[in-house]
């Protein structure tokens, strides 16, 4: 696999144009500063030689010589392009693709990373991480060690979603689930609810903690009881009855849907503390949040680009941790206490 017969190099162009290889490089990179001044004639000669050939710069060589590659890495802790993950990753990937287009960057997906314990490993023997100028990380849960190491090696990266599992501050762009949760709880209180049951899977992620923390700060009139669920929800009706809750919230829309299947009571209010777009319960739009996922992705790439193009000493001036505000989706399943859906 060394045979690259069709490959044209700067040396070849130089030969044709009758100049040195250095000059070709200068022309290609528009190096035209104080001490380098290439006459238009030479410049033209080189240009023509290039046009007539099929020359394209070898990106590996450029990179090795110290230039940016305009390649951004995309690392996902799970499969990104499977049908199941599209609900979550789809809008993010779309935002990333569009941002990359407008930044003029290519996207390197680290699909080769070996899977261990169900999750991909970022660092491994032959990681191509370094080929990228920087990397965005996606996934509900991330590996704290990966993050620490990226910081330690001062490799530019941005996590999508809030992170707090490390000592060193990690650059991220996320959604302010705490604020959203607070607002939805306010809304529930306004509608007369006094007891809410909150279903979750006890995930160990920052956003899961943000939701729980916000629940701990619920308005005085409202008591919210967290309840950890497993795969089997058959006990749920009893739990709800015993708790006296008039509303059931859950950490994501799928969990609300599952709960709704076993919870037949139409007077029970339902909501997800997460994106609800496209989700309906018995024909009614689910109450919950609208989260600006495309915008998160776009801002993550913009931040990454900023980190890449700013010398490390000046990183202090950059806001590296950003939470974007979503909005509460009122929906039709969070209703007046005592009403019916």
Sites for its own copies among residues 121-140 (CB under 8 A): 123, 125-131, 133
Which CB sits closer to its own copies, 57 or 262?
Answer: 57
The residue from 39, 83, 118, 316 that contacts its own copies (CB under 8 A) is: 83
* Nearest CA among 173, 269, 181, 264 for reference residue 217: 181
The residues, ordered by sequence, that sit 6+ positions from 285 with a Cβ below 8 Å of its Cβ are: 276, 279, 329, 331, 332, 333
Binding mask 45-64 for DNA (x = CB under 7 A): ----------x-xx--xx-x
Which CB sits closer to its own copies, 36 or 115?
Answer: 115
Question: Is residue 111 close enough to count as binding its own copies by CB under 8 A?
Answer: yes
CA distance 176 to 274: 11
Sites for DNA among residues 223-262 (CB under 7 A): none
**Token pair for residue 136?**
């965005």
Question: Is residue 227 close enough to count as binding its own copies by CB under 8 A?
Answer: no
CA distance 93 to 294: 8
To DNA, the closest distance from the beta carbon of 15 in angstroms equals 11
Question: Is residue 318 close enough to count as binding its own copies by CB under 8 A?
Answer: no
To its own copies, the closest distance from the beta carbon of 190 in angstroms equals 34
160 and 92 Cβ atoms separated by less than 8 Å: yes
Which CB sits closer to its own copies, 163 or 293?
Answer: 293
3-state SS, 272-301, equals EEEECCCCEECCEECEEEECCHHHHHHHHH
Which partner from the list its own copies, DNA, none does 104 bind, CB cut-off 5 to 8 Å by kind?
its own copies
DSSP state of 317: G
The residue from 3, 66, 220, 317 that contacts DNA (CB under 7 A) is: 66
CA distance 326 to 320: 19
Question: Is residue 32 close enough to count as binding its own copies by CB under 8 A?
Answer: no
CA distance 35 to 175: 49
Which partner from the list its own copies, DNA, none does 90 bind, CB cut-off 5 to 8 Å by kind?
its own copies
* Nearest CA among 217, 224, 278 for reference residue 250: 224
Binding site for its own copies (CB under 8 A): 1-7, 54, 56-61, 63-64, 66-71, 79-83, 86, 90-91, 93-94, 96-98, 100-101, 103-112, 115, 123, 125-131, 133, 149, 152-155, 308-309, 311-312
């Amino acid at each position: 696999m060394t045979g690259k017969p069709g490959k044209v190099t700067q040396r070849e162009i130089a030969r044709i144009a009758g100049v040195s290889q250095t000059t070709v490089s200068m022309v290609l990179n528009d190096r035209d500063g104080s001490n380098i001044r290439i006459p238009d004639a030479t410049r033209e000669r080189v240009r023509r030689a290039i046009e007539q050939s099929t020359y394209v710069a070898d990106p590996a060589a450029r990179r090795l010589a110290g230039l940016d590659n305009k390649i951004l890495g995309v690392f996902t802790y799970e499969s990104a392009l499977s049908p199941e993950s599209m609900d979550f990753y789809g809008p993010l990937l779309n935002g990333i693709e569009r941002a990359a287009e407008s930044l003029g960057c290519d996207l390197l997906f680290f699909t080769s990373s070996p899977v261990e314990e169900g999750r991909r490993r970022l660092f491994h023997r032959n990681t191509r991480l370094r080929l990228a100028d920087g990397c965005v990380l996606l996934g509900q849960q991330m590996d704290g060690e990966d993050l620490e190491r990226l910081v330690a090696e001062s490799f530019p990266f941005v996590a999508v979603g809030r992170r707090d599992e490390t000592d060193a501050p990690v650059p991220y762009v996320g959604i302010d689930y705490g604020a959203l949760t607070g607002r939805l709880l306010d809304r529930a209180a306004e509608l007369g609810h006094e007891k809410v049951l909150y279903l979750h899977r006890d995930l160990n992620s920052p956003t899961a903690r943000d939701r729980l923390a916000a629940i701990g700060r619920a308005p005085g009139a409202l008591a919210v009881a967290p309840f950890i669920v497993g795969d089997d929800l058959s006990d749920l009706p009893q739990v709800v009855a015993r708790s006296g809750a008039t509303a059931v919230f859950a950490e994501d829309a799928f969990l609300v849907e599952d709960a709704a299947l076993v919870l037949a009571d139409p007077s029970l209010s339902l909501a997800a503390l997460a994106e609800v777009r496209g989700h309906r319960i018995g024909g009614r739009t689910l109450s919950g949040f609208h989260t600006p996922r495309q915008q998160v992705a776009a801002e993550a790439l913009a931040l990454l680009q900023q980190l890449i193009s700013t010398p490390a000493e000046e990183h202090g001036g950059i806001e590296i941790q950003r939470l974007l505000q979503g909005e509460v989706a009122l929906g039709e399943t969070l209703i007046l206490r005592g009403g019916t859906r």
